[in-house]
Structure 1
Amino acid sequence: MVHLDDLADARAHVLSRGQKQRLGLARALVHSPAVLLLDEPASGLDPRSRVELRDTLRGLAREGVAVLVSSHVLSELDELADRAVLVTGGRTVEVLEDVGGTSATSGPARASRPWRVRALDPEQLLRALADRGLAARTGPGGVDVVLDGEDTAARLLAGLVADGVPVVAFAPATGLLEQAYLDLDERSRR
């Protein structure tokens, strides 16, 4: 399950950090737990191992295992979590339901967040956004514009395409969990 078959006879101290992470997961799973608590499980893993970890944890959850993951890398959790609890100062400050789905409506991340747009003609894109009254910020990855939810983003994309803007990329600039945390942090600084 953790793809360490070829290292079955190796001592743990000779394993790489990522291999040790996978060994730790194997040790946690050996007794078929009902609850699996993981702290930064993707730390030290290469991209392929991260994908495999995500698939393994999703599979365990489908089988009824309660998988709890603690991590500071919120972008990794976006694709993994169904529900998120944001903790600050040892206290729960926000609970986000249905994180991985599209029907969730709770939490500040669902209201507005920046979306990154790239077009073959950046000037045409900036004019089209200005015509819609949207403030845009140009960066190295494209143009960021803050939008209120996925419905608004879908309408904007359809409008840009209908207006002949050659859009080549259109996606959230931050993940839902990362944006929820940033919004929470912003509120706490006020």
Structure 2
Amino acid sequence: MKVVNTWHSSTAIQGRIELNRGRVLRVKLNMPQDKIEILDVKTSFFRLHGFSENIQRMLDKEEKTINVCSGSRLAKVTGLELCVDVSYVNASLVEHAPYFPFTGPFDMEVSLNKRDKHSGYNMLAKRSESKTASTIQFAFDTPGSSIDRTLAFDLSVNYKKKQVDMSFVSPWKNIAVKGKQIYFLSN
């Protein structure tokens, strides 16, 4: 008897992370492939006879298959779908069966599938301060996508003018808030 166990991964992500003096963080991730094989595990059994090898199916009548994917919500928000496919022999109800992994063939694949035509992900986080103003920015986007996933948040405080500006942009809602101190009573 010969047992062959194969582990395989085929991931391709190109990226760039830029941190500028702790004030600006830029992240750019490109996904050139439509499918990223995070992990692929296979176990096979062979019967040896002389110089020949024949596949030994073991307890294949009890073979179970499970296919689970993250679904359309995650795909709509991120443009990605995470899937897990598992095939194994369930020998728990078979009397005198061997213990796993010797029950029979085992296959498991974990993959990340693009569900949009976007090329990748862009993120920006920025903070700046001076004696007269403070600014915070955050932005996220999937360039080239068919679905708008742009998220942006900006907050600026002008101490000299005693003014606050805030904006939030998303595919679902846009919000803008402006505030200014006009009059201040002191005791």
Alignment TM-score, normalising by the size of structure 1: 0.24
Structure 1 or 2: larger strand share? 2
The higher radius of gyration belongs to 2
